[in-house]
Chains A and B, each alone.
Chain A
Amino acid sequence: MGALLSAALLTTTGAVRRPGPAGGQLIVESNQTVPLVHVIVASRSGSAADPRHREGLTNLAAEWARHGAGGKSREQLDAAFDALGATLEVETQPDSTRFEGEVLARNLDAYLALLADVIVRPNFAPAELQRTRHELLADIDESRNDDRALAIRFFVRNLYADHPYGHPPDGVKAALEAAKPDEIVGHFRRHFVGKNLVFAFAGDVEPDALAASLKKAFRGLSDAAAPPPNPLELREPVPPKGWRIQLVDKPDRQQTQLLFGHPAVRASDPDFVPLSIGLAAFGGHAMNTTMMNEIRTKRGLAYGAYLNMSERRGVGAASAWVFTGSDKTVTTLKLALKLYVAFMTKGIDDDTAEFFKRYLIGAHATDMDAPDARLAARVSAEIAGLPPDFVDTYGDRIRAQTPAAINAAIKRRVHARDLAITMVATAAVMKKLLLDAKVQSTAIDVVRYDDY
């Protein structure tokens, strides 16, 4: 096992960087295993750039741009992508808005022309705005079918309150209905300028030839300065006080989706890597974590119990997820909170630190085996302000951490007594169970599952 700690496990060919169109950043990783190319063009502005009372504006703008461009109607554009065997979808996250897809390598140049149409020459046809708005509102309704997605939608608000990270990237109904065409177009044009874009490609592609093709395809892309970040995003989020429980009331639930967490740390903070080791030991995606051992393996209380930390440019969250039967929810909640308090107080021991360092180094290599996953990780690191070599040197960064550094980061960044707690459950049943069990919350707020 010692070899694990000395060998470089992630032996990809690495990525090369080139100047992208109009001052953008180009990242390319060549891999000829299959004749396919994975593509991401990301704006460094995500849902956190949504203006106040316009939650979802950034996503709406990108979706509208995708629905007709370069003089092609939405139907013609869709058919053009399909004819290439290609995909192009919009993915809006708090820190970035991404056009991402795949294309057969033989069709790359034609794909770039269509992609450039979407980003540089969107039609912004009024009739498509109406349809796009209707579809996004319907998507929000549909997302309520999935109890986990529903829980996350409410949880981010409970966790971040009015911080720009506190609303769902797909927005809220009133804001989407209120957005005017001019403000949507203006918002898109401010944020989709070359200097605010990351162009990333992985697969059967050659960097220099790609750079030339991109320059040609994206002729006309604005080289205006990148917009300043939303000043609200730069604020430290106001953490919860005590255990703030939010019950998302949905009828006939036999199981509870339970999330809890707190703001933790920026990805660029020195505490980010050591804290990620500590949190992985407590609830990362492994079977030997504290949460899985105590909640699933020993007691069979839940199918899964996890805790992750988001990689954000701003202050990301440490957030835990457990789903368990309604009759076991209070027991599971009290146990999970007790474990998290103990984790905050005691940290982890040396053996555990070494175990999870090894696990994370190996798991990173397996996570990064898929070219599309590697590409997404490189873009996320770039957007989050991490060093350009972060993905390739991740193992070294983990290896360098000591148990003392990990525990110091836990002590500074884990706030187990101040948590936002969100539960999707049938409130009439769950609230009584919580009160009967005397869970020491500062509040138990009940909200309907379809009112936000």
Chain B
Amino acid sequence: MAVLALPIFACAAAGRGGGSGKVGVGVDRGAVATGAAAGNAGPTPVEVARATFGRMTAVKWRLGNGLEIVLAPDPQATTVSYQTWYRVGSRNENEAGGETGLAHLFEHLMFTQTKAMPAGSFDREMEAAGATANAMTSYDFTAYVNDIPPAELAVAARLEADRMLNLDLRKNQVDTERDVVIEERLSAVEDSVDGTLEELVFKQAFKTHPYRWPVIGWMKDIKAVTRDKAVAFYRRFYAPSNAVVVLAGKFDAAAALELLARSYGPLPASEPPPPDDAKPERAPAAEVRATLVRPLPADRLVVGFPAPALADADRAAYEVAAEILAGGPSSQLPRTLVVDKQWASSVRGDVAPTRDPGLYAIWVQMTKGHTAEEAERIIVDATAALVARPVAASQLGMAAARLETELLRQLSSSHGRAEALGNFEVAGGGFARLYERAGEYARVTADDVRRVANKYFAGGARSVVIARPGPGSDGANDGNDNAGDGARGD
């Protein structure tokens, strides 16, 4: 599935929330700062945008301190998803200064203590209210996600407003969370074949853009984090004018807006964050490759192609092309590699939902006796076919329908709706673009698919990483490990 999957997040606190334990996914900062500076919002929230999709309406408001609020009420919901999206992610880190991973580590630290609330208070109050509190960090943002019973909305508003400016970091808490993140990286990268492959496919594709380093950061940088670095990061990026609060679910819009204005309104406007000077990079510019060895039953392959940004005019057509290649069970690559030839046990594709041009990654798990190069040849031929001739109307219809279903699936829950609205608001040209996307899929033509295929797939530029079975594997052979220095412990 290609559209709103968020494969590149590092969910810092995945230990949080997630279940009852009972059983068993804009507006750029310049525009925000300009709006606030122009004084178009005083003590009273000002409506700045509105969008409707079917029975759903979302409205964006702005407070005088620059905080933006998106409200998407749904009377049929059972809960409220209260999400705070900060326009800061790993793209804002200083790699040369050894500060990769700071955005993500900081996400962990936001759950420690504030000047008003002692250590552990945030989680205690939220859980006592029956809420689940989690967070996620990506290249382009950091989001704090609370799913809370409607009657307890004020608890979330009080705690989130407090920690936006009043965090009180202690050294021992930084030390402990650093250890936790080290464990997270060991699990998500060092001991994960897919984690290692993903890190490498982005690293070798991007030469200058911050997407070249992983959201979780290089291990050596994680180990070098200090309280002073964390505090400086907080002061640079955490402020009302750099955040969007998104609410979706069961609430009264007027009452919720009044609550949020009362909770966040008194927060002072801060100095604007430093300019985000990352220059968009079409990546990869040429074919780049790496191989490594891991305990695997057979070769595992990831191929990354250049992909348009989430807000790009090419995006809908590109997603349709990706769906035709590796979407449903009848799409080209699963049909050929898994069913017909039986060279692979699985094929999937992910188009990164990034603010700047990113990657479309196709993942293939080979079966024993077949090499990654065999699948790569099929993938290259399939992309070339999209360039060479128009796709059939039936293929277009299938792809558009499946993308519509996937979009609706995400919008069907309060959590999913708030996440999609937040992602489009900070990285996709604004929350209203989310609601326009479903209609765009149906308007994509065969000529559109051929045009984007020619623009992004022709020329042979791709980032290829292959993991081969190594010693101790049932499918072991003489693998040739030439993985980059990001493979382990960089």
**Residue B241 at the chain A interface, CB threshold 8 Å:** no
CB within 8 Å for A302 and B183 given contacts A284-B22, A362-B129? yes
Contact B128 A34 (CB under 8 A): no
A301 — which chain B residues lie within 8 A by C-beta?
179, 183
A286 — which chain B residues lie within 8 A by C-beta?
16-17, 21, 123, 127, 132
Q: Which of A3, A31, A85, A292 has the most CB of B within 10 A?
A: A85
Q: Which listed residue, A85, A267, A285, A450, touches B20 by the CB 8 Å rule?
A: A285
**Residue B472 at the chain A interface, CB threshold 8 Å:** yes
A338 — which chain B residues lie within 8 A by C-beta?
none
CB within 8 Å for A139 and B346 given contacts A288-B127, A303-B180, A363-B20? yes
B14 — which chain A residues lie within 8 A by C-beta?
303-304
A145 — which chain B residues lie within 8 A by C-beta?
193-194, 296-297, 300, 365
**Residue B487 at the chain A interface, CB threshold 8 Å:** no
Stretch at the interface among A18-26, A117-125, A154-162, A249-257: A249-257
**Residue B224 at the chain A interface, CB threshold 8 Å:** no
Contact B331 A364 (CB under 8 A): no
Query: Which residues, 78 to 93 on B, are CB-close (under 8 Å) to A?
Result: 78-79, 81
Q: How large is the interface on A (under 10, 10 to 19, 20 to 34, 35 or more residues)?
A: 35 or more
Q: Mark B168-192, 1 if CB is under 8 A from A, else 0.
A: 0000000111111111101100111
**Residue B95 at the chain A interface, CB threshold 8 Å:** no
Query: Which residues, 269 to 301 on A, are CB-close (under 8 Å) to B?
Result: 276, 279-280, 283-289, 292, 296-301
B152 — which chain A residues lie within 8 A by C-beta?
4, 362
Contact B149 A9 (CB under 8 A): yes
Q: Which listed residue, B368, B400, B415, touches A369 by the CB 8 Å rule?
A: B415
Contact B397 A362 (CB under 8 A): no
B56 — which chain A residues lie within 8 A by C-beta?
33-34
Q: Mark B37-77, 1 if CB is under 8 A from A, else 0.
A: 00000000000000000111000000000000000001011
Contact B409 A79 (CB under 8 A): no
**Residue A32 at the chain B interface, CB threshold 8 Å:** yes
In the complex, what distance in Å separates the CA atom of A188 from the CA atom of B473? 35
Stretch at the interface among A193-201, A221-229, A305-313, A401-409: A305-313
CB within 8 Å for A308 and B130 given contacts A104-B405, A369-B415, A370-B415? no
Q: Which listed residue, A82, A134, A285, touches B402 by the CB 8 Å rule?
A: A82
**Residue A372 at the chain B interface, CB threshold 8 Å:** yes
In the complex, what distance in Å separates the CA atom of A394 from the CA atom of B23? 12
**B188 CB to nearest A CB, Å:** 9
In the complex, what distance in Å separates the CA atom of A12 from the CA atom of B150? 13
Contact B329 A142 (CB under 8 A): no
Contact B20 A360 (CB under 8 A): yes
Contact A134 B342 (CB under 8 A): yes
CB within 8 Å for A78 and B329 given contacts A147-B191, A304-B14, A365-B130? yes
Contact B470 A310 (CB under 8 A): no
Q: Mark A311-352, 1 if CB is under 8 A from B, else 0.
A: 100001000000111000000000000000000000000000
Contact B124 A254 (CB under 8 A): no
Q: How large is the interface on B (under 10, 10 to 19, 20 to 34, 35 or more residues)?
A: 35 or more
In the complex, what distance in Å separates the CA atom of A255 from the CA atom of B335? 36
In the complex, what distance in Å separates the CA atom of A261 from the CA atom of B478? 39
In the complex, what distance in Å separates the CA atom of A12 from the CA atom of B130? 17
In the complex, what distance in Å separates the CA atom of A74 from the CA atom of B295? 33
In the complex, what distance in Å separates the CA atom of A419 from the CA atom of B77? 41
**Residue A42 at the chain B interface, CB threshold 8 Å:** no
24 contacts between A and B (CB under 8 A): A10-B78, A11-B78, A34-B55, A82-B328, A82-B330, A82-B331, A85-B402, A141-B368, A141-B475, A146-B192, A252-B295, A300-B180, A303-B183, A304-B14, A309-B22, A311-B22, A362-B149, A364-B20, A364-B22, A369-B81, A370-B413, A370-B414, A371-B413, A373-B413
Interface residues of B (CB under 8 A from A): 13-24, 54-56, 74, 76-79, 81, 111, 120, 123-124, 127-133, 147-149, 151-152, 175-184, 186-187, 190-194, 249-250, 294-298, 300, 327-331, 335, 338-339, 342, 344-346, 365, 367-368, 394, 397-398, 400-405, 408-409, 411-416, 470-475
The 7 A-B pairs of least Cβ separation, nearest first, read A362-B130, A284-B21, A85-B401, A138-B345, A251-B472, A300-B179, A304-B15
Apart from the given pairs A287-B13, A359-B128, A450-B297, 12 other A-B contacts in the complex at a CB distance below 8 Å: A31-B76, A32-B55, A84-B401, A104-B404, A286-B17, A288-B123, A300-B183, A302-B183, A323-B183, A358-B130, A365-B78, A449-B295
Interface residues of A (CB under 8 A from B): 1, 3-4, 7, 9-13, 31-36, 38, 74-75, 78-79, 81-87, 102-104, 107, 131, 134-135, 138-139, 141-142, 144-147, 203, 250-255, 267, 276, 279-280, 283-289, 292, 296-306, 308-311, 316, 323-325, 355, 358-373, 380, 394, 449-450
